[in-house]
Amino acid sequence: MPTYKVPVNDYLFLFNDVLDMQGHYQRVEGGDQATPDMIEAIFSEGAKFCENELAPLYQSGDKGCKWDDGVVTTPQGFKEAYAKFIEAGWTSLSGSPEMGGQGMPSSISSAFNEMLTTANWAWAMYPGLSEGAMATIEDHGTEEQKQVYLTKIISGVWSATMCLTEPHCGTDLGLMKTKAVPNDDGSYKINGTKIFISAGEHDLTENIVHIVLAKLPDAPEGTKGLSLFIVPKFLPATDGSVGERNTVSCGSIEHKMGIHGNATAVLNFDDATGFLIGAPHDGMKTMFTYMNVARIGTALQGSAAAERSYQGASAYAVERLAMRALSGVKNSEGPADPIVCHPDVRRMLLTQRVIAEGGRAMVCYAAQFADLYTRGKTEQDKQQGEERLGFCTPILKGFITEQGVIAANYGVQVFGGHGYIQEWGMEQILRDSRIATLYEGTTGIQALDLLGRKTLLNNFSQLKVFTAEMLSFAAKSLPWPRGNKTTRKQAWAIAKLAVKWRYLGFRVGMQAKRNRDAIGAGSVDFLMFSGYAYMAYMWAMMSSKAQQKLDQGAGDKNFLREKLHTAEFFFERLLPQAQAHAKTISASLDSVMGMPNSYFDAS
């Protein structure tokens, strides 16, 4: 079974050097308490919990949850680990201090969540689902709802879910059938069935608070008619404790490809008592507070899959002997050389490492905007945070999760036949990683959001902001004597990517004026190009800072040299793939749409 060591030094390099989070936190309420010493203490203690409590349960948790007449039991050890988790106060890390939270910026909890996910993906989803509920209730709930629900969720005594999907509708929420009928006391009767509800039923907490989308009787058609409701498993008693059981039940849990340790539930609402959160028919807007948080959490799952798989594969590659190196014997004392000597194995390992570290940097960068959006000191900061986060979110979720699957697949490949066997744990990472490309909106949905809503319909405004920042970075890095030949070359690549990114946006916009299907046909390639450009910017920043610290004689020299080498591999071996996506975006639409629907009928 692959072990997991939290790369604390990598998080600290990003927070302290690359992104200058101390400067950023001056714009964030409560940011003054997030000192470098405090951040290091949080990451170090969090690493101990992940390595000692969660990682050992990762493979055993794959045996899955048990369902018995609506009651779900989580895998052995999960409940005990959760008790230690809330006892240590981890659930309250970024919660509002007024509601019992520690008030840390969400960027810190986001980094910690990646550690949790890498250590034990299925377990981490139980507290992870509560993050979005906290944000939603804090932003849109009444004062009473905050006192009753938010305090308990922040403490970890209660957990939360997000209930959107129904058997007949997934992404197209306008087709939703769940109904909400007003009661005389201001509550609502909720009726309907929701499926694919992660952490929808379990034995870790005394109560589960469901955030549910439903339609009021006077709701207009489509997504404009959706409202959002709080539907607890147990109704709160007057003293805030758990009261009588609500009429929401778990009909079954899904039998899935991966994340077996997390209960993905079918929930039936039969005249269940619910409470409106936000304004009537405003559920989609209210829900997107939840969705933006959830999509960042999903994006970091791609990095987590890459990190876990890399650590397992790299350890194996150093020990496993097979054949002699093409350039000559490397292990004269043994019958063969370690497979890490072979170029193709190194290619796979380096690709995994690039995805893990590059994806981590992408999420940490965007987490700054989540900080501003939720706790910016001025309305201008909050607005800027919301707009920039909105642009980054589909790239993060779509690109990094797809790359995470590639990285996990390489982990199996490095092991060869052993990677296909359960006892090594590598195939579990691959199975688990696949879901991240699907939930919170598939890659295709993220791509349509990025190209359609966030680029074309937004008049390219956020694309211009992002690329202007890239160009500014390149302009500062190019003049001699800043940097060396390699970092200046990377800066030049960033400048060209920024210009090409803008051009591609305008190009597909012109194609769409002739045929709107051009948006759908080119959107995924546009997202993937955007992801490569975004990651390239992060690697250029990391490379520049690593070189600067080396020139100053500061920091861990081995760590910094490794960072430079990994960056060089990305620019030389992976970034060229962006050009293939750029070319595909401009390809003929007929190659996709030229045949009638009957062409695909295999009956």
> Could you tell me whether strands 188-198 and 179-182 are parallel, antiparallel, or unpaired per DSSP bridges?
antiparallel
Q: How far apart are the first and last CA of the chain?
A: 44
Closest CA to 249 of 206, 191, 187, 175: 191
Beta-ladder partners of 338: 321
Q: Are 443 and 437 in contact (CB under 8 A)?
A: yes
In degrees and rounded to multiples of 5, residue 487 shows phi and psi of: -70, -30
Q: CB burial class (10 A; 0-12, 13-18, 19+) of residue 147?
A: middle
- CA 15 to each of CA 9, 35, 255, 466: distance values in angstroms, whole numbers, following the listed order: 10, 11, 39, 20
Question: Which of the residues 51, 440, 568, 572 is marked catalytic?
Answer: 440
Within 13 Å and on the Cβ side, how many CA atoms surround 592? 14
What DSSP assignment string belongs to 247-294? SEEEEEE---SS-TTS-EEEEEEEEEEEEEESSTT-HHHHHHHHHHHH
Q: Are 398 and 446 in contact (CB under 8 A)?
A: yes
d(CA 309, CA 415): 11
**What is residue 34's three-state secondary structure?**
coil
d(CA 178, CA 138): 25
**What is residue 222's three-state secondary structure?**
helix
Closest CA to 537 of 467, 600, 484, 587: 467
Structure token pair of residue 560: 């910094």
Q: Are 312 and 426 in contact (CB under 8 A)?
A: yes
Closest CA to 195 of 108, 266, 127: 266
Structure token pair of residue 135: 């944000």
Whether the upstream peptide bond of residue 232 has omega within 30° of 0, thus cis, is no
Beta-ladder partners of 274: 188
Active site residue 440: yes
Structure token pair of residue 98: 């007024």
State which H helix or E strand residue 533 sits in: helix 517-552
Q: Are 463 and 501 in contact (CB under 8 A)?
A: yes
Q: CB burial class (10 A; 0-12, 13-18, 19+) of residue 169?
A: middle
State which H helix or E strand residue 306 sits in: helix 283-319
Residues annotated as catalytic (active site), given as ranges: 440
